Structure 1
Amino acid sequence: MSNATDGFPLDSAPRVPFLPTAPAPRPSTSRVIAEALRAAIVEGTLAPGEPLRQDKIARHFSVSAIPVREALRQLESEGWVTVELNKGASVASLTPAEAREIYEIRSALESLAISLAIPNHTPETLREAAALCAEAARESDPALYVARNEAFHTALYAPAGRPQLAEMIAALHRRGERYLRVKFGSPENKGESDAEHAAILAAVENKDVAQAQALVSAHLLGTGELVYRFLTERAQAEAAAAAPRRRRGRPARTPTTIGS
């Protein structure tokens, strides 16, 4: 929707009875579908590797195939969905290598962001960051903690005034959400993360750029390595458990006759 009529911006127009305020734009159908699918993936209703049939999704939401395709493209760009030629879309698997790479990139970008933000922090922005840090520490629901965690990190970097950098960091937060939930499957990991958040906040409050960068980097790289180890060990355990089943189900080999 345009914010101008007959060449003048509505924001600067006088508030008169015959010029009503436009309602807030409604979310697009494709966005609603994407958010519903993302929530189902996060909660485990849609498991890794599960096919995402466009026709079934369209029937479920009573829509045409067009917004479903748009939603799947959006989820593919965020790492939630894999689309293969002649196979269609499916829920993306959690892979150790991707987890580690996401946090390596986050470490580089967020170290830069915090160094640019610290000189511009004010008492007000520091109070906001401290409040968000405390909210994350109190949060016990993993789904809500992910949002609190992102809000805290965003508040630390916002004063940098680098919108493109902020957009890249936000995209990595979305792509890494499922991996972050893996980390917070155990309470000790959350407690460690909360302590690291508090240390980062203290360095920002003290305007210690080098210390803040070192702490952010260690915090993110540590998370990446923890999730990498967890997923690697889980894959190895699953492979070991599946091996006897494969051997039991393998048909007996027919002896080869010489000269046949």
Structure 2
Amino acid sequence: MNDATDGFPLDAPARSPLLPAAAPRESTSRLIAEALRAAIVDGTLAPGAPLRQDAIARHFSVSAIPVREALRQLESEGWAKAAVHKGATVAPLSAQEAREIYEIRSALESLAIGLAIPNHTAATLRESAALCRAAEREADPSQYVARNVAFHMSLYAPAGRAQLEDMIGTLHRRGERYLRLKFGLPSYKGESDNEHRALLDAVQHRDIPAAQKLVVAHLLGTGDLLYRFLTERARAEAALANQPKPRGRRPRAATGS
């Protein structure tokens, strides 16, 4: 994340077309929230970076109202943090939050996959298999996050539990920037792909206990890995910050000739 900025990149060219001129306010705020979320995930906006309403409004050529709504949405999802008289900033990465997100996901997704398996059809299984292969081939971290979500959600969709699916989707969004961190860890991609294939195989064989066991192990393992990584990184950063700064040499006194 070396290219991360300290604020919203006003001078950076837009990655997507400008917002529709006649977009309803709700649609506009949603699109702004998605753009900010993407910038946080890909590291353009670093943890602690200010999210200034006026700067964001100028960037998207909109009024302050949809920006405020977008920031409230991001705050409710855990992406932004608001402080009185200081405005909103990108929420810091938290080892505890990362682990907890995956603990909750393991419980909800175990339930969802158990409910979904009896309702899977040949068509839904083909879709899940195609999404699994797409995630396996993907090398771009940002694109992989989207393909990973699509694969997981395809396994649960046949459950027909709209509220459960919505809760899982929210947790996926909150965990996106943590998932991206795993790309920097050795052997993660291959291990994740292997776990996805094993999970898909259990679903295809309609083995509910095996599928539930695999999805729980997959998610708890991810949460533990991220917790250790972020904890160790925080310790290293704290140790570096506490190191005494080297003192410069004191200038020699001038001597007469």
Structure 1: 5+ residue runs without aligned partners?
Answer: 1-24, 249-260
**Residue aligning to 1:46:** 45
Bigger CA drift: 47-56 or 147-156? 47-56
Q: 2: distance between equivalents of 1:244 and 1:141?
A: 36
Structure 2: 5+ residue runs without aligned partners?
Answer: 1-22, 248-257
TM-score (norm 2): 0.83
Matched, 1:144 2:143: yes
Matched, 1:236 2:235: yes
Matched, 1:118 2:114: no
Q: 1: distance between equivalents of 2:222 and 2:186?
A: 14
Q: 2: distance between equivalents of 1:33 and 1:202?
A: 38
Bigger CA drift: 33-42 or 171-180? 33-42
Q: 2: distance between equivalents of 1:186 and 1:228?
A: 13
CA deviations 1:139-185 (Å, max 9, x no partner) are: 11111111111111011001101010000000000000000001122
Q: CA RMSD in A?
A: 1.8
Q: 2: distance between equivalents of 1:50 and 1:171?
A: 23
CA deviations 1:99-155 (Å, max 9, x no partner) are: 000000000000000000011111111111111111111111111111111111011
State the Cα distance separating 1:56 from its structure 2 match. 2.0
**Residue aligning to 1:76:** 75
> Is the radius of gyration larger for structure 1 or structure 2?
1
Bigger CA drift: 110-119 or 38-47? 38-47
Matched, 1:34 2:58: no
Matches within 5 A, 1:34-183: 34-183=33-182
SS in 2 for 1:90: strand
SS in 2 for 1:184: helix
TM-score (norm 1): 0.82
Percent sequence identity over matched residues? 73
Q: 2: distance between equivalents of 1:127 and 1:187?
A: 30
**Residue aligning to 1:195:** 194
Bigger CA drift: 237-246 or 194-203? 237-246
State the Cα distance separating 1:247 from its structure 2 match. 9.2
Q: Which amino acid aligns with 1:190?
A: K
**Residue aligning to 1:220:** 219
How many correspondences in the alignment?
Answer: 225
**Residue aligning to 2:19:** none
Segments of 4+ moved more than 3 angstroms: 245-248
Q: 2: distance between equivalents of 1:66 and 1:90?
A: 18
Q: Which amino acid aligns with 1:223?
A: T
Bigger CA drift: 235-244 or 184-193? 184-193
